[in-house]
Structure 1
Amino acid sequence: MAPFPQPQTGQVAALHSQRWFWKLQLVSWLGIIVTTFLSLTFWHSSVEWPHFEPGNTLFQCAIGFLLSLLLKPIFDVAWETPIALRSFIYLLAIGVISGIWTLVRMEAYIYLTGEHSLWAEFGGWYYASLFVFLFWSALYCGVKYSLLLQKEHDKVLQVAAFHEREQIRRLHAEAVAKEAQLKMLRYQLNPHFLFNTLNSINALIRFEQAAEARDMVVRLSQFLRHSLTEDPVNKVSLDQEIGAVLLYLDIEKTRFADRLKVKLDVEEQTRRALVPSMLLQPLAENAVKYAIALSESGGTIRIRTRRSGEQLLLQICDSGSPEDRAEPEAEEPVSTGVGLSNVRDRLSTLYGQAYSITQSRKQSGGMQIQIRLPFESRESNKDNNTIEVTA
């Protein structure tokens, strides 16, 4: 059996100031008085015990009460010693105090009765005294251990509550850091996209295509207004995200006209799926920059969405540039710059390991990017908006 936890000095000092000891004294000695009356006075009074027995019982218990006060400091001093030494000291103290109480009880009885032959029964009297003080000591140690264990339990609860508060603070700090990282990554897209678009407007102006440049500025302002109204941390429905990427592609159509074609293959049940805002725009921008802009005949950008079990599948591909068609067996896909790197970082921050993104070259030419995410959806509710996570 594991030993009881050893109390600290401060704990013992705190226990001294409590009133539990006096409650123990009152309860234990009242119990001894009642037991003595019931087992001796009422049972033997008519045969062996004289009429003074009630007063004698109260006197003996009063002496025992005072002697038990001497045991308390001895027990407290020995409390922090090793268990073997402590047990020896306790038993020795109990034996001595029991002997003293036995002598006092017998002297009082001899004084009241004049029966000097009583000393032959010393062993029986001592046994009864020893039993009483062993009972008292067991109560004292049991209550004291119980109180100390309760204090240790309270400390454990306090430590657990402290660690829980620290955990909450740490999670909050991580959430704040994650939110800041998402905002940084999300806002990184705005100057990147804006830089490319302004270059396109500048090119239109240089070639004296004022109407197209003016139309592109108007569409650019609409797109920026849309991007600013979206919280960079919150997710949006896939339907909204596709609307945003189509708004961007409308800006590019001002520049490329019929050279840029867009085809959508959106599964109906995926329209309510939640995705990070501005997820598809940087991928569409890469397709425009590395495929459509490099081809005199232009090309097609395809966006396809599917639900696969508890995952959302997003695909965006382009028809490629002339170089892609000339070298269909190229082993490594051409880098797509800031856009794909930004998307990877944002998905990693949001989903940890619960996502995948792959980039590959199609046999017919062009680049294909495929993203797999946990399928999350926002169910419409008249009272409130709830998010259903089915992954």
Structure 2
Amino acid sequence: MTIDASTSIRSSHESVGLGTDQDNPLTNARSQLEAAARTLGFDHGMHQILANPRREMIVQIPLRLDNGGVEVFTGYRVQHNFSRGPAKGGLRYSPHVSLDEVRALAMWMTWKCTLLDVPYGGAKGGITIDPRQYSRGELERLTRRYTSEILPIIGPERDIPAPDIGTDEHTMAWMMDTFSVASGYTVPAVVTGKPVSVGGSLGRSSSTSKGVVHIALAALEHKGLNPARCTAAIQGFGKVGAGAAELLAKAGVRVVAVGDQYGAVYSSKGLNIRHLAEHAGRTGSVAGFAEAEPVPSEALLELNVDLLVPAAVEGVLNRMNARKVQAKVIVEGANGPTTADADAIFQEAGTLVVPDILANAGGVIVSYFEWVQGNQAYWWTEAEVDERLEHRMLAAWHNLLETQRKLGLTLRETATATAVDKVAKAHKIRGLYP
């Protein structure tokens, strides 16, 4: 990595039209890029190339409802960069989806793939909808219409979607089938996170949680903490949070608090994660779990614990609550859960924050494994997948620590600068066309 602190760049407010709302995920993502560009001594042109998506598509999706009515939804697919390979990123169904959110998530995917040495660029998709309000049939029709609208820009060599908030392996099966029907033959590698029965990879469904826990345990030990004597709080009890809670408990960490969008629960003795999962499966939430006491959702982030895993949505750790956070280690299971203001506060307090582009990269690593298997039509055992996942995660962790010691930056600054530098070098080697 070449660093020239004497080289100046324009403010991102000038170069990319950055807003002033520091809780906006795109503002947060571009702020991180700006810091990396300054560290690396990039000129205005390179900064602009990396700050803006290569391609964006906005589509209107008419959906015929079960009652015969029609609603129209807005969908997005943003491809931030593909200098190092095809674009890769999840598909999110949420009432909070916006173009700026998808742009930010696509940018973070670029850095994540690069940091973990996965040969992809970043992408992200989303539809502004609350999937809980619609039937399975309605969601299938929505997914198939969305897929048909973005067909020109996706494919195994172009852009490979995967599940995210509000979507799952069935969503990916519908996408794969829609793409395959349009192609005239089955194309398993067009998406990842599929059911194993149609070309998915063993170990994919739990991969993000496993990656988070590999890094969390390593981070605790790095801080001189014995995981078997540590406590943890987890915000989010979906695909990532629930799996992380189970795996941390198996590793001996006492998970004392878990929350979701409906509420949070606490037990000083440690939660029985299996019983909590059964309760959440029956009721749809951790709220009301009889073996624990309720706590306000915002209070969960401020508990006196060793480890905090925000595994829900972006921006939950911000200037309003960062000074109240007592955790010694924060491992970001979600994308973008910490704003720039909160980062500065945590740095001042000596709190170790492991950034999302490393901590939750297990999903994209095993998505890459699935893509490789799909292209080769040769499938690995779950033990092989898990072993390769652990190796990739821990190798990236140790490489990040080594680079941090050389640069004297925070882990996030180091991770972002490392990834940004690799993407810029790939772009320079390829050159501008025409």
- After TM superposition, the score normalised by the length of structure 1 is 0.20
The higher radius of gyration belongs to 1
Between structures 1 and 2, the one with greater helix share: 1
TM-score of the superposition, structure 2-length normalised? 0.19
